[in-house]
Amino acid sequence: MSTNRLMAWLLGCVAITLLLTFGSLVIGTSSVETSLGWILSPDAQSSVVLWQIRLPRSVGAWFAGALLGLAGAIAQGVFRNPLAEPYLLGTASGAALGVTIILVAADASIGGLTWASKLGVTGAACLGAGGATLLTISLSRGVLQTRSLLLSGVVVAFLLSAITQLLLLAKPEIWRSMQSFLFGSTGFISWSSAGLLGAVFCLCVVPAALLSRGLDALTLGEDTAQSLGLSLPALRLTLLGIVSLATAAAVGEVGVVGFVGLVAPHLVRETLNVNHRQLLIGAPLCGGALLQAADLASRWLIRPAELPVGAITACLGGSYLVYLLWRRSRNA
Amino acid sequence: MREALTSGVAAATSPALSCEGLCVGYGSRVVLEGISLAIPPASWTSVIGPNGCGKSTLLRALAGLEPARAGAIFLQARRLNAWPRRERARRLAWLSQTAPVTDLTASEVVSLGRFAHSGWLAHRQADDDAAMHRAMTATGSLAWASRRLSTLSGGERQRVHLARVLAVEASVLLLDEPTTHLDPPHQEDVARLLRDQALRCGVSVVSAIHDLSLALTADRVIVLGHSGVVGHGTVREALAGDWLSAAFETRVNIVEHQGVHLWRPALEAPARLSIEP
């Protein structure tokens, strides 16, 4: 793996990201010509649209995608399974339950309304995701048994989804507000959300990159990693903590966006032969660009209306995985 | 001192690695019970025994990978689990029976052997590079340093993992079948390498090798049977006491040819499994 190729790859990713950011500035309900005119000769109204609505949305989408890509790359390394993804520990269903509870509380206009509005949908989603992770880890009695962790993750996901469904049955009127969350939506990202996502990203990517050697060692098997002088419980707990923090933040801001966390690390591995340090930098770049592109497509395909961004990532990611499978079976 | 070692009176010097009353098992099955051994410094010991007698379990337990149900393991006269993790990993290296496949390159794998020295930041010093280079030269794996392990053959992969273990520059090496997947000349190379490590570098090598002729080129043997240690001493003592036949519960023919011990398959003897005409 030559350094030049890696540099070219990274620069390519950055260039695509800049291009997509520019694209999301000029594409919207107004025509491209109008948007270009806005950029060239800004007025008060257009600058609000450009810099307070479109730009934070695009930047936020990048950070959310980057967080999912990072979480996916770490999860695949910790579980030593290329099909692992960020929602494995039950975070998505936990976040959905959190949002449902908050909506039910707000809708019922009961005494809980003040705390509900203070916490907000984002806070509820983060709390739900964090709670689900803790539940999964305590169900599997620690982080050392991969199989029981995966199993508890599945159990927790089913259990929490069932509770969510029951709540939705009891209060069908909140279903519409839940929809945008369950399909994933980049439509509500403000500068403060983008800032929060960016801060969490920095908080996650630095320790993850520092621990990348541990992920490299884990590819040799847990026993060998341990014999090299690694503390397996501490390493896994820290890495899974990063995964759940990154996922909770992303899900809290943009809802349950599928496939980005699964596909981004694969895209990196397919185009580069990388160790984990490079993967943990490449996968966020890839995931960010992916979600930005999906966000752009969600606004453009049926303009002036919008598609849910999660539906687009599912289509893109799903077809990419099918392509991978098809190519593997042809090569084999 | 060398004479003392080779004549098997090594107990006088303090052992590099030892265990007392070691008991290891999985679930309700006890694999090893009441094992007491002392591995002298600067020696090469072969662990010999039939399939399923606990050779791998013994090596794993000595490496601290299997919890001891009873008894204690001492590394350089200090209890194994009293060592700080990284300091222990600098003194004791373990090679697994299966050579793991990974997408890392050979030199990245070997550099993981330096983890206990260089730590998380992977900021390699000159001595790390030198150790890696020595290890890869010794195992003949330098040529494919930048190739991914998943593109190498089983034997090549095995040699990369051996280089990773050597790169640790530990004083005790526990090797579970270091010669699997290797062709005979390369098995020979590995045997020579292990002897060099013991004699020149003062390392205590403990290896489980299935090929009896190869295993008997070591200085010392630990012979394991299904009911525990049959014997622990020099190769000469093992042959004089016919420990191998006791361990395998069948006649094991070892012939001596120009000072080398060879295992001779005895087809003319009444075989345990006879095929009816």
Complex-level ipTM: 0.88
- Grade residue B122 by pLDDT with cuts at 50, 70 and 90: low
B158-166: average pLDDT: 96
Chain A nearest-CA distance from B212, in A, is 26
Helices (H), chain B: 2-6, 55-62, 85-91, 106-112, 115-118, 126-138, 154-167, 184-199, 212-215, 235-240, 243-248
Which candidate, B43, B102, B93, B46, places its Cα nearest to that of B223? B46
Q: Is B84 left (phi over 0), alpha (psi -120 to 50) or beta?
A: beta
CA A132 to CA A157: how far, in whole Å? 8
Q: Please answer whether residues A187 and A180 qualify as being in contact, where contact means their C-beta atoms are separated by less than 8 angstroms.
A: yes
A42-71: average pLDDT: 89
User: Is pLDDT at A308 greater than 80 in this prediction?
Assistant: yes
- Quick check: A80 contacting B, CB < 8 Å? no
User: Of B59, B102, B110, B166, which to mutate for an interface test with A (greatest number of A Cβ within 10 Å)?
Assistant: B102
- Residue % of chain A over a pLDDT of 70: 95
CA A327 to CA A332: how far, in whole Å? 9
Chain A nearest-CA distance from B251, in A, is 36
CA B260 to CA B149: how far, in whole Å? 36
Three-state DSSP state, B140:
coil
Per-residue model confidence (pLDDT) at position A116? 58
Per-residue model confidence (pLDDT) at position A119? 67
Contact B105 A221 (CB under 8 A): no
- Grade residue A255 by pLDDT with cuts at 50, 70 and 90: confident
Please, what is the average pLDDT of chain B? 89
Helix A32-40 with A3-26: angle, nearest 10 deg? 100
User: Is pLDDT at B190 greater than 80 in this prediction?
Assistant: yes
Helix (H) or strand (E) holding A173: none
Q: Please answer whether residues B153 and B207 qualify as being in contact, where contact means their C-beta atoms are separated by less than 8 angstroms.
A: no
- Residue % of chain A over a pLDDT of 90: 45
User: Is pLDDT at A144 greater than 80 in this prediction?
Assistant: no
Contact B65 A227 (CB under 8 A): yes
User: Is pLDDT at A311 greater than 80 in this prediction?
Assistant: yes
Contact B105 A1 (CB under 8 A): yes
Classify residue B29 by burial, with Cβ atoms within 10 Å: 0-12, 13-18, 19+: exposed
What burial letters (b/e) apply to B75-102, b meaning 16+ CB within 10 Å? bbeeebeebebeebbbbbbbbbebbbbb
Contact A217 B115 (CB under 8 A): yes
B104-123: average pLDDT: 88
Which residue carries 């908080």 as its tokens?
A: A203
> Per mean pLDDT, which range of A46-55, A150-159, A264-273 is the poorest?
A46-55
Chain A nearest-CA distance from B55, in A, is 16
CA A169 to CA A216: how far, in whole Å? 46
Contact A223 B109 (CB under 8 A): no
Give per-residue pLDDT as tens, A81-100: 888 899 988 988 998 899 88
Contact A220 B109 (CB under 8 A): yes
Instruction: Give the closest of A229, A269, A275 to B104, CB-based.
Output: A275
B138-161: average pLDDT: 93
Give per-residue pLDDT as tens, B84-97: 999 999 999 999 99
Give per-residue pLDDT as tens, B241-251: 999 999 998 88
B167 to chain A: which residues are within 8 Å by CB?
A: none
Rg (CA), chain A: 20
Contact A227 B90 (CB under 8 A): no
Contact A216 B112 (CB under 8 A): yes
CA A64 to CA A62: how far, in whole Å? 6
B94 to chain A: which residues are within 8 Å by CB?
A: 223-224, 227
- Grade residue A38 by pLDDT with cuts at 50, 70 and 90: confident
A208 to chain B: which residues are within 8 Å by CB?
A: none
CA B210 to CA B224: how far, in whole Å? 13
Contact B104 A219 (CB under 8 A): yes
- Residue % of chain B over a pLDDT of 90: 73
Per-residue model confidence (pLDDT) at position A304? 77
Nearest CA in chain B to A223: B65
Per-residue model confidence (pLDDT) at position B218? 94
Which residue carries 């090299």 as its tokens?
A: A228
User: Is pLDDT at A121 greater than 80 in this prediction?
Assistant: no
Q: Which residues are paired to B207 by β-bridges?
A: B46, B175
Q: Going by DSSP bridges, is the β-strand pair B220-225/B204-208 parallel, antiparallel, or unpaired? A: unpaired
Q: According to the 3-state scheme, what is the secondary structure of A26-46?
A: HCCCCCHHHHHHHHHCCCHHH
Nearest CA in chain A to B87: A229
User: Is pLDDT at B12 greater than 70 in this prediction?
Assistant: no
Give per-residue pLDDT as tens, B26-46: 888 899 999 999 999 999 999
Torsion of CA A193, A198, A204, A205, to 10 degrees: 150
Per-residue model confidence (pLDDT) at position B114? 94
- Grade residue B271 by pLDDT with cuts at 50, 70 and 90: low
Three-state DSSP state, B233:
strand
Interface A–B counts its CB contacts (< 8 A) at: 66
- Quick check: A69 contacting B, CB < 8 Å? no
Which candidate, A54, A69, A66, places its Cα nearest to that of A296? A54
Which candidate, B40, B48, B43, places its Cα nearest to that of B76? B40
CA A314 to CA A87: how far, in whole Å? 14
Which candidate, A278, A317, A252, places its Cα nearest to that of A120? A252
Per-residue model confidence (pLDDT) at position B61? 96
B29 Cβ contact list (under 8 Å, min separation 6): none
Chain A nearest-CA distance from B92, in A, is 8
The CA distances from residue A312 to A183, A293, A300, B176, in Å, are 10, 9, 12, 50
CA B47 to CA B206: how far, in whole Å? 7
* AA identity, residue A109: S
Contact B94 A224 (CB under 8 A): yes
Give per-residue pLDDT as tens, A206-229: 999 999 999 999 999 999 999 999
Which residue carries 């009176």 as its tokens?
A: B9
Chain B nearest-CA distance from A167, in A, is 44
